[in-house]
Structure 1
Amino acid sequence: MDKHLLLVHAHPDDESIGQGATMAKYVAEGVGVTLVTCTGGEMGEILVPEMEHMAADKDDTLADQRKIELDNAMKELGVTDHRYLGGFKRYRDSGMKWHEDGHAIPDDTIHENAFWHADLTEAANDLVAVIREVRPQVLVTYDEFGGYGHPDHIQAHRVATYAASLAAVPSYRRDLGEHHDIPKIYWGAMSESRLRAGLRLLRDAGDTTTFEGMDPDGPLPPFVTADENLSAMIDGTAYHQQKMAALAAHATQITTDGPFFALSNNVGETAWGLEFYRIAKGERGPLNEDGLETDLFAGL
């Protein structure tokens, strides 16, 4: 079996944060890896002062810069097949704002070409063509809330889920390729116990600013998953440095003195080298002592 993994993400940098180590690991093992990014990330916050002119309310050229950053990040991970849904700039970053309850919601003003406004079937068809071309055994995307409520993450979940269903129908849009049923679908996840342990180490070391407001013993944001709901854990600690290099490549969005690197420095390779998943379709293969798969292709 020629193994192939397909990942569907909303913006450049989401892939490196969520599954950078997994991607690097599978590439190193000879597995085909395809990344589909749904938007150009036009509405992202710019952390580099000299690039602030690229913002949406100024030159509106951030997508071009983030494309370069994504290219560089994929080189760090070894991923050679990465695409934009429907082509570069087909769908625009929808932006977001924060709800008082601490999760993201759609902004008051959204661009007419925003991904959030995309026709679901039209966007899904763009992905159906990719699915039928690369014929993955495993698809990874977000949960139904997009992790923390970002409209583009939610839309990516919807598009990926619908496209996977449509792609499997033999009589549906034959012009998009021969039908293909993806055996296993996963949602990216973050382990509650791992995050609490990491936060505890940070707070014990006197760091109160990394993931500010999060209490190791208190309530956590919606992107955190209770361990009982986890299905798989990929040990990508051997590829931890590649993941951190990919994160650093997204320079307008992630700083090396930010929370991802602070947690990594304090907790070590397991902070971001261990990546977790919830299974949404398919049967799990053999489990480890923690009741988790250690290979997303297990059982196929």
Structure 2
Amino acid sequence: MLFGVPGRCVLFVHAHPDDETLSTGGAIARYAADPSVRCVVVTCTLGEEGEVIPPALRELAPDRADQLGGYRIGELAGALAALGGPEHRFLGGLARWRDSGMGHGEGTRAVALPDLHPRALTAGDLDLQVQQLLEVVDEVAPQVLVSYADDGGYGHPDHVRAHELTMAVARARPVRVFHAVRSRSVLEAGLAGIRDLPGLPFRFPEPDELPTVPDAVVTTRLDVSAHRDRLVAAMRAHATQVAVWEPAYAMSNDVAQPLLDVEEYVLATPGEAPADDLFGGLA
């Protein structure tokens, strides 16, 4: 760090408000708290097509008042503040791209919808979106980019597009890319910890209902236990999308998921994979 200016930068690229918290909230909190790191989050859409959990807010939904996207701007601001205040950008500017929505496939898998809004992220020009992300990359000069694996984690088309954008940037700029994942063993251990909790208000998942990756593909694990309080506060900020009952949470599908003290990543660009630090081994 030179004269108070952070010498390292990590850029998280996410599809919708709440993804930054659910996929990488611990890492964001960790690096936002490090004065030597510039931590930046890009959100591609406002999440307009999300399903709304609290009954009092369901008129915001896209098939009713269609005001959910604007409401989620405030939720995102609250979550980012809870995570330590990383910098934030919307891809192409505020509300440039709309949530593409999703259909429901097997288990908790998402599938693409046959009809898209004209401003839907996945209906947009990929080259234009790459250029918009490159503008952010050239502004903040990250050494590390973080997004999703090629299936978007669970198949959501906007997550897949965020992956495509991130990998296109990695071909154009010298950056290290990580994909946020969750291994079978870590998830199973977390589920074991909540299985027999009295009063669990969510449905316990069926075997293999929640998406995981084989343990062998994970390259990097971050201990984020010190940031649990920040992560839970950020989840609570996304009240339209996440219901929290510590040590568990659920989305609108009401499937219980454990709050985990470890975040897992796969190094997606050439080089030696760091064990416990996204910047590990970088000069």
Moved more, 45-54 or 88-97: 45-54
1:272 aligns to what SS in structure 2?
A: coil
Alignment partner, residue 212 of structure 1: 204
The TM-score normalised by the length of structure 1 is 0.84
Alignment correspondent of 1:85 = 91
Aligned-pair identity (%): 37
Q: How many angstroms apart in 1 are the aligned matches of 2:121 and 2:155?
A: 14
Residue aligned with 2:240, SS = coil
Give the deviation of 1:208 after TM superposition.
Answer: 7.7
Length-normalised TM-score, structure 2:
0.89
1:197-223, Cα deviation, whole Å (9 max, x unpaired): 1222333446787463323xxx354x3
User: Does structure 1 residue 11 correspond to structure 2 residue 16?
Assistant: yes
Partner of 1:190: 182
Where 1:224 maps in the other structure, the secondary structure is coil
Asked if the contact 1:185–1:282 (Cα under 8 Å) also holds between the matched residues in 2, the reply is no
The whole-number CA distance in structure 2 between the counterparts of 1:80 and 1:147 is 23
> Aligned pair in 2 of structure 1 residues 92, 267: CA closer, same or farther (>3 Å)?
closer
Distance 1:115 1:65 in 2: 19
1:252-278 deviation digits (Å, cap 9, x = unpaired): 11112388448xxx999xx42310000
Give the structure with the larger helix fraction: 1
- Asked if 1:201 is matched to 2:199, the reply is no
Shift of 1:164: 2.7
Aligned partner of residue 256 in structure 1, secondary structure = strand
Unpaired runs of at least 5, structure 2: 2-6, 251-255
- Residues 70-128 of structure 1, C-alpha deviations (whole Å, 9 max, x = no match): 00111111124111100111000010011246521112332111111111100000000
Per-residue deviation, 1:159? 1.2
Question: What code does the residue aligned with 1:298 have?
Answer: G
Q: 1:48 to 1:220 in 2, by over 3 A?
A: closer
Match of 2:82 among 71, 76, 85: 76
| One-letter amino acid of the counterpart of residue 129, structure 2 | A
Deviates more, 1:30-39 or 1:199-208: 199-208
CA distance in 2, matches of 1:233, 1:243: 17
Could you tell me how far 1:283 is from its partner in structure 2? 1.7
CA distance in 2, matches of 1:58, 1:267: 29
Q: Which residue of 2 aligns with 1:174?
A: none
Contact 2:267 2:273 in 1 (8 A): no
Q: Distance in 1 between matches of 2:34 and 2:216?
A: 29
Distance (whole Å) between structure 2 residues aligned to residue 59 and residue 267 of structure 1: 30
Letter in 2 for 1:199: L
Whether contact under 8 Å (1:138, 1:186) holds in the other structure is yes
Name the structure 2 match of 1:98: 104
Partner of 2:116 in structure 1?
A: 110
Q: Is the Cα–Cα contact under 8 Å of residues 232 and 277 in structure 1 kept in the other structure?
A: yes
Amino acid at match of 2:222: I
1:251 and 1:13 mapped to 2: Cα distance? 9
Greater alpha carbon shift after TM alignment, 225-234 vs 193-202: 193-202
Cα distance change of structure 1 residues 235 and 258 upon mapping to structure 2, 3 Å threshold: closer
What is aligned with 1:20? 25
Q: Structure 1 CA distance, aligned partners of 2:199 and 2:152?
A: 28
3-state SS of the aligned residue for 1:88? coil
Q: CA deviation at 1:282?
A: 3.4
1:1-300 matched pairs, under 5 angstroms: 2-30=7-35, 31-100=37-106, 102-166=108-172, 168=173, 181-182=174-175, 184-205=176-197, 210=202, 212-215=204-207, 219-221=208-210, 223-257=211-245, 260-261=248-249, 271-284=259-272, 293-300=275-282
- Can you give the 5+ residue segments of structure 1 that lack an aligned partner in the other structure? 169-180, 287-292
Whether contact under 8 Å (1:11, 1:39) holds in the other structure is yes
- Pairwise CA RMSD: 2.2
Q: Which deviates the most, 195-204 or 131-140? A: 195-204
Contact 2:194 2:247 in 1 (8 A): no
Secondary structure of 1:56's match?
coil
CA pair 207-189 structure 1, distance change in 2 beyond 3 A: farther
The one-letter amino acid of 1:139's match is: L
Given that 2:26 and 2:263 are in contact with CA atoms closer than 8 Å, whether structure 1 keeps it comes out as yes
